Amino acid sequence: MRKRMFFISTLMLLIVSLVFNSVAFACGGGMGKGGPIVSTEWLAANIGKGNLVIVDIRSEEEYQAGHIEGSINIPYIVPFSAWLTMKDDLLLELPEKEDIFEFMSAAGIKKGSHVVIVTSLPTPENPYAIGNANRAANTLIYAGVKKVSILDGAFEKWAEEGRAVTTEVPKVRPFNYKSKVKDEMFVSIEYVEKKLGKVILLDARDYEVYTGEVIEPYAPVPGHIPTAKSLPAPEIWNEDWSYKSEKELKAIVENVIGRNKQNKEIIVYCGVGGYANCVAFVLTEMLGYKNVKIYDGSAQEWVMYNEMVIGE
């Protein structure tokens, strides 16, 4: 009888473990363990396994100088690249889905792929490099890829640890990618106008820009969209540009919007859409918020038609 009870208990624990592991990614769990943010250790141990696809979004020159074995180069270049386009003079706009599917097909990416995004650390020439990975990740999620991660510490951490780097370009087997896109992820200015005062609106720009003390060239009007709360994207990273822990991120978010808001509708914007994607990725993929939208036009579009609020 004892042996039978032990067997049943062990079986139940195994089932619970399997279920937990299967949902951990979707619920934002597992930093460094194949979750939304993966460590260099995890990536080194999983190269070449299963459905893993490594996408290096650094420039072609950086990629050619040395990259992680098996990684595919899809450069993130402003204002035009596979990841970005301009619409009505607005920067960092989402390309048409057909264009996204085209580069995904050429890269051999499938809905069931586990894509890991590799970027570089910020430099004076490319100050938003670390955040570009979030925009790339959200683009793939929008396109229907089930599992997308970002390499913590960027390529520099991988290289500094003395891990293998190559100049060999891998052969890619193209795949005709098709999927239903998640249109609800990105919203228009009309949508934001209708939702003011009814949703949580987050401004992901630096606090000094939010208050109007600093004016960015993208939106030459000081202040923020009415009702918006300030949650600067740089707060999600440590000083070395690694991601803060889920516990720290949870505290940062709840300090701004309060507790138990996982099901509330949240719209995130910034100057042109880059930082907004960083905060949105953390909210949805790492912390499990269920109804987060990105205002793609952001402040650059809003000031063309509406007023801003100065101060807190």
Task: Write out the two tokens for 8.
Answer: 């049943």
Of 144 and 2, the one with more pLDDT? 144
- Give the tens place of pLDDT for each residue, 297-308: 999 999 999 999
Of 112, 135, 166, which residue sits at a domain end?
166
User: Are residue 196 and residue 297 in the same domain, yes or no?
Assistant: yes
Strand stretches in the chain, DSSP E: 37-38, 52-56, 72-73, 85-87, 90-93, 114-118, 147-151, 186-187, 200-203, 229-230, 266-269, 292-295
Q: Is 292 part of a structural domain of the chain?
A: yes
User: Are residue 108 and residue 145 in the same domain, yes or no?
Assistant: yes
Q: Is 16 part of a structural domain of the chain?
A: no
The pTM assigned to this predicted structure is 0.90
Residue 186, helix vs strand vs coil: strand
User: Are residue 244 and residue 285 in the same domain, yes or no?
Assistant: yes
Q: What is the DSSP letter of 183?
A: G
Amino acid at 271: G
Contact 270, 253 (CB under 8 A): no
User: Are residue 259 and residue 288 in the same domain, yes or no?
Assistant: yes
- Give the tens place of pLDDT for each residue, 147-163: 999 999 999 999 999 99
**What one-character-per-residue DSSP string does 38-102 give?**
E-HHHHHHHTTSTTEEEEE-S-HHHHHH-B-TT-EE----SSSSSS-EEETTEEEEPPPHHHHHH
Range of the domain at 200: 186-304
Q: What is the pLDDT of residue 14?
A: 37
| CATH, residue 64 | 3.40.250.10
Q: Is 100 part of a structural domain of the chain?
A: yes
Nearest to 40 by CA among 170, 167, 162, 166: 162
Q: Is 24 part of a structural domain of the chain?
A: no
Contact 166, 69 (CB under 8 A): yes
Q: Is 97 part of a structural domain of the chain?
A: yes
- Give the tens place of pLDDT for each residue, 58-83: 999 999 999 999 999 999 999 999 99
Q: Is 310 part of a structural domain of the chain?
A: no
| β-bridge partners, 166 | 67
User: Are residue 134 and residue 238 in the same domain, yes or no?
Assistant: no
Q: Is 11 part of a structural domain of the chain?
A: no
User: Are residue 154 and residue 201 in the same domain, yes or no?
Assistant: no
User: Are residue 44 and residue 157 in the same domain, yes or no?
Assistant: yes
State how far the Cα of 133 lies from the Cα of 110, in Å rounded to an integer: 19
User: Are residue 156 and residue 206 in the same domain, yes or no?
Assistant: no
Q: What is the pLDDT of residue 179?
A: 97
User: Are residue 161 and residue 112 in the same domain, yes or no?
Assistant: yes
The count of domains in the chain is 2
User: Are residue 144 and residue 249 in the same domain, yes or no?
Assistant: no
User: Are residue 191 and residue 162 in the same domain, yes or no?
Assistant: no
Of 110, 131, 166, which residue sits at a domain end?
166
User: Are residue 42 and residue 147 in the same domain, yes or no?
Assistant: yes
- Give the tens place of pLDDT for each residue, 223-237: 999 999 999 999 999
Q: Is 130 part of a structural domain of the chain?
A: yes
Nearest to 308 by CA among 215, 198, 243: 215
